[in-house]
């Protein structure tokens, strides 16, 4: 049950995953009041979810479950499992492999402004998929709500975001190897009634770095934040060549220590250690780059995750926040002459991998980047 997991408390206070970071002095967030009983009682399932059915499921409905294994992500023209599909200009009927019905939901707190629904649905439409993506904000859900409640309503897969990437683990039947190593998930697949957690954040971050900062040094990197996103980023860097020098800083010392222990187990030859939040400026003296993996800087969480005056033009700076794309940290980093990577790169890459995992169809990364550019430009005009 989400109540027993503390999900409702996490949704209102951020205590599950990023409490320490959000309560740091650099964040000026005002506490959100708990939802009223009237607000909870007014919750309604999205209109596209079918009503709960009783009795045995019809044969026609059971055939809609899609079990084809996921394909690797490719930047080439649209491809499908087992064969290369026609280009995006081809008729939709030539692209669809199965008449699968995909109903995906994002679970998190304060997600009303997420770009994920539009990003996923635009690409799914280009691929000819029957695919809808909805939001399930924890502040609006009734007490005791679980992922299985949504599955019974027709949801075929989930994205999971702040603040429950770690707290959701006890809801699941199984974990992928990466999710188990990271201790966090951002994607949940549903197969034959079993819920399996996956993590596409770590591979999404690596794909974003390779695309946006292809030649930067990954020798010594500071990661600010040890929650779900920080775990994924640190895991990626340790496995991609930065294992000789990954420093993880978080205001929650226990969470930092737990992440360091997991990474040392996965990468025993790497130099992986924890820092107190106030040690970040000193650590940057010897670092090649730094990654903000906290919500500080996103809409509703203004501020800087550390004192940006210590940045030098030899540093590269990445931020996982994508709303806005130009966070206060990236603005300061550019002013200091640093190369920067915004959160959009990670968002697109992990979204593409999630879509492939949940549908078995390979998205076009370049096209998804264009989708995101169009969406952010449209927001800027509003």
Give residue 104's Cα distance to chain centre: 14
Burial of 185 (0-12, 13-18, 19+ CB in 10 A): buried
Residue 114 assigned ligand-binding role: yes
Catalytic residue among 132, 165, 198, 315: 165
Residue 225 assigned ligand-binding role: yes
- 317 contacts 290 by C-beta, under 8 angstroms: yes
Q: Which long-range contacts (CB under 8 A, 24 or more apart) does 31-39 make?
A: 32/110, 32/139, 35/139, 35/140, 39/139, 39/140
Residue 144 assigned ligand-binding role: no
Residue 350 assigned ligand-binding role: yes
Residue 183 assigned ligand-binding role: no
Longest dimension (CA), the chain: 65
Q: Is 381 a catalytic residue?
A: no
User: Which tokens belong to 59?
Assistant: 């044969």
Residue 329 assigned ligand-binding role: no
Please give the C-alpha separations between residue 99 and each of 72, 150, 359, in angstroms, as whole numbers: 21, 21, 11
Residue 201 assigned ligand-binding role: yes
Residue 174 assigned ligand-binding role: no
Burial of 218 (0-12, 13-18, 19+ CB in 10 A): buried
Residue 116 assigned ligand-binding role: yes
Residue 230 assigned ligand-binding role: no
Closest CA to 185 of 175, 193, 194: 175
Beta-ladder partners of 82: none
Residue 27 assigned ligand-binding role: no
Give residue 103's Cα distance to chain centre: 18
Residue 228 assigned ligand-binding role: yes
- Which residue positions form the known binding site for shikimate? 114-116, 161, 186, 201, 322, 350
Residues recognised as catalytic: 165
- Which residue positions form the known binding site for NADP(+)? 225-229, 320, 343
- Which residue positions form the known binding site? 114-116, 161, 186, 201, 225-229, 320, 322, 343, 350
């Amino acid at each position: 049950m989400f109540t027993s997991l503390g999900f409702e408390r996490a949704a209102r206070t951020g205590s599950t995953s990023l409490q320490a970071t959000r309560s740091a002095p650099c964040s000026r967030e005002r506490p959100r009041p708990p939802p009223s009983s009237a607000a909870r009682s007014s919750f309604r399932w999205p209109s596209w979810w079918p009503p709960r059915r009783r009795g045995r499921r019809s044969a026609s409905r059971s055939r809609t479950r899609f079990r084809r294994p996921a394909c690797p992500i490719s930047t080439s023209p649209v491809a499908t499992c087992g064969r290369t599909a026609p280009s995006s200009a081809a008729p939709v009927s030539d692209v669809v492999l199965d008449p699968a019905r995909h109903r995906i939901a994002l679970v998190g707190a304060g997600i009303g402004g997420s770009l994920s629904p539009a990003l996923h649905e635009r690409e799914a439409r280009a691929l000819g998929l029957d695919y809808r993506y909805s939001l399930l904000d924890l502040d609006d859900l009734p007490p005791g709500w679980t992922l299985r409640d949504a599955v019974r309503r027709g949801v075929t897969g989930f994205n999971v975001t702040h603040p429950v990437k770690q707290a959701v683990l006890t809801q699941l039947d199984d974990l992928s190897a990466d999710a188990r190593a990271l201790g966090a998930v951002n994607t949940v697949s549903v197969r034959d009634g079993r819920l399996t957690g996956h993590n596409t954040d770590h591979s999404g971050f690596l794909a974003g770095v390779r695309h946006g900062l292809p030649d930067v040094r990954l020798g010594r990197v500071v990661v600010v934040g040890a929650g779900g996103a920080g775990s994924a980023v640190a895991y990626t860097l340790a496995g991609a060549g930065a294992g000789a020098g990954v420093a993880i800083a978080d205001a929650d010392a226990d969470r930092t220590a737990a992440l360091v222990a997991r990474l040392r187990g996965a990468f025993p030859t790497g130099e992986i250690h924890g820092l107190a939040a106030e040690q970040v400026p000193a650590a940057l003296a010897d670092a090649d780059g730094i990654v903000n993996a906290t919500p500080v800087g996103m809409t509703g969480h203004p501020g800087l995750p550390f004192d940006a005056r210590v940045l030098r033009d030899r540093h590269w700076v990445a931020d996982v926040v994508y709303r806005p794309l130009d966070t206060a940290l990236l603005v300061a980093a550019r002013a200091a002459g640093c190369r920067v990577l915004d959160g959009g790169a990670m968002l697109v890459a992990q979204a593409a991998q999630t879509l492939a995992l949940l549908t078995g169809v390979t998205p076009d990364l370049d096209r998804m980047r264009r989708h995101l550019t169009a969406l952010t430009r449209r927001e800027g005009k509003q």
